[in-house]
Structure 1
């Protein structure tokens, strides 16, 4: 039996407007990965209700994320674009993984601690268990790679732990059914049903920070709209936000090492490098020693040229919600074919009739 075929899965929650951090950290990578992998890109609407059950327009937000995928260049004919709740096997496999994962694993998840805050007893069970659903999202399609930001590495490590425990616990059954696939686990070559999915973290701006505070991640939930560049912002809004972005009084350093201890400068240089697809060292070589009054206009022009076509196309696609629904329905059908095949094997391995 051959090794796992390269396959990418990733998802975005439909909560609020997508911003520059989502674009650079995820969506632009999604587009590039289409050239080398079979890809499934999912609007993870089930995840969006873990921290907040009631949403004003969850369906509209789901369509908006889909429009952003398509506007950025994801090809929904060659690859699969769908929303999570169309494929019930996500929740079905998540329940099995809830029984594989250990409570201690979940309690160590830093994002749960951050989102639950001090009143953890009042957080939803879904918020605690959602990394198990994330593992199911990925492994339902036996994905080999996931493009993730730095903040999601811990969840992907949990996905690998769940896959490995499942493979170990059911190793005899997997072998008896002939469902094992050769894979490398450390220095050992073994057969497993689920792959140990690898993260794809690359590029000069894997984590884009707030334009108002370089120590905090750019976020859809930040009360200040000036803290982020939304994908729906027009050219004037983009330029204004960069012009007002927080900086320190010193000119840009003349070496990359000089960015240390200067979070706002490091963030803006990282954004420039990512948008221009250039190393940060190149940006510093060009703008090092110059004041922000020279750098910010260049960054604004670059951001507008990169993002304005995406925002224009996104608005065009959003004007036809029926077409977005057609894309999601077709993608859901294609995703479910894969999901049903996986769950058939999982049920046989576990012993569910």
Structure 2
């Protein structure tokens, strides 16, 4: 019995315009991963319903995420780019996993507690079951690795729990059908159908904060457009937003320790480091002691150099929605081949006629 073939799965939810934090924290890492792994990149439009049921522009938002993938450098021919709802296996396997997962597991998910708040009785069942669908997204393709941020680590652990329980509950049928794959559980070798997916953590993700308030994360939902760099902003808009970014009156510190208690300075140094692919220490070594009136124009020029080609390509792609739709259809067809194979096996294991 051979080991699982390495496969990376990751998805982005189409809720609002993508901003700089999404690019630096996720999409740029996706582009790097495709050089070393087989990858499936999904626009998770089913997940979007847990945040808001009725969307005015879900189609455009879905196309925007796909455009960002492609404009950033993801190759949709070499890898798979598609939208989740186009492959029925996601919802089908999610239902099975709803029956595998335990209510106690779901109630422990901190993201559900945060998003549901005090009015948990009015939260949708979809919000509670969100991690089960996420597990299905990954395991439908028997994904072995997922790039995750801090907010999704617990969900990936739950996906592993679901895979382990399925493998254990159906161990005899998996073996009888010859569908088991050898894997390690701790120090023990076992056979199972679904892999215990591993997180891909490639260094700390840059924490990109608001340009108007360095104590808050940059967000596409912030009412002030000046608080964020949208991935569709043109070069003049990018430069203007950095020039207007909030700062304190003191010059940049000459040591990393000097950034403590200065959230706006810390944020701009972190953004510069991430865009330049340098360390924060490098940035401080070069610009420490300078006024923000010197530093912000340099940061703005760097941001325009890195981001404007991506935003221009996104705008070009978004002007031709039929082309994006064709890419998504092709990706969905290729994803569905893998998904149907998995669902055929799962139905055999469970005992569906």
Q: TM-score, normalised by structure 2?
A: 0.95
Task: Compute the displacement of 1:145 (Å).
Answer: 1.2
Moved over 6 A (4+): none
CA distance 1:209–1:201, change in 2 (3 Å): farther
SS of residue matched to 1:253 = coil
5 Å-filtered alignment, 1:78-227, equals: 78-203=78-203, 205-227=205-227
CA distance 1:288–1:171, change in 2 (3 Å): farther
**In the alignment, is the contact (CA less than 8 A) between 2:30 and 2:74 conserved in 1?**
yes
SS of residue matched to 2:51 = coil
CA distance 1:298–1:224, change in 2 (3 Å): same
Task: Compute the displacement of 1:261 (Å).
Answer: 3.8
- 2:47 is matched with 47
Structure-2 separation of matches of 1:138 and 1:309: 31
**In the alignment, is the contact (CA less than 8 A) between 1:204 and 1:279 conserved in 2?**
no
Task: Compute the displacement of 1:142 (Å).
Answer: 0.9
Bigger Cα displacement from structure 2, 144-153 vs 334-343: 144-153
**In the alignment, is the contact (CA less than 8 A) between 2:149 and 2:205 conserved in 1?**
no
- 2:265 is matched with 265
Task: Compute the displacement of 1:201 (Å).
Answer: 2.7
**In the alignment, is the contact (CA less than 8 A) between 1:147 and 1:201 conserved in 2?**
yes
Task: Compute the displacement of 1:244 (Å).
Answer: 2.3
Q: TM-score, normalised by structure 1?
A: 0.95
**In the alignment, is the contact (CA less than 8 A) between 2:42 and 2:84 conserved in 1?**
yes
**In the alignment, is the contact (CA less than 8 A) between 2:145 and 2:200 conserved in 1?**
yes
Structure-1 separation of matches of 2:249 and 2:175: 64
Bigger Cα displacement from structure 2, 107-116 vs 79-88: 107-116
CA-atom RMSD in angstroms = 1.6
Task: Compute the displacement of 1:196 (Å).
Answer: 1.6
Structure 1: unaligned runs, 5 residues or longer? none
Structure 2: unaligned runs, 5 residues or longer? none
1:33 aligns with 2:33: yes
